[in-house]
Structure 1
């Protein structure tokens, strides 16, 4: 079985238009990351869901149009943990914005 991955699009069978902001609650350290490959609301939701599962994350807002993901956490996050979460969602962490 061959699986093709197209990092430029994920919308083959998904409905775009979900609200990608995940607001868990609270305030703290806010960091903006650049993520490549997001093209729609589904992409934003996938990235937001994976990052929001990291310990200490209180809010995530991903914007496909800009490639930016704003993360609020109780304490600074390790870049490696954020990179792993973004990779798990199927995208690439470019770095901090």
Structure 2
């Protein structure tokens, strides 16, 4: 199985597919350390986003850990840690 990584561009795409975007928010800007709430994504939108990530990448993300990921950087780290575990197990 090839090594996968989940990038900020991947996250932007999945966020848009799962929950759309507020017109006042520039997802193309430097959002790595911006709280999801400031980006107009509430917890349900993040859970839906994570569900799509799980299905697309074949990983499992614990809801309690996901809700602690308050920024795109934190979520990217969480997803990439899970992907590394899947790749190592393959």
TM over 0.5: no
RCO comparison, higher one (Cα < 8 Å, 6+): 2
TM-score, length basis structure 1: 0.35
More strand by share: 1
TM-score, length basis structure 2: 0.37
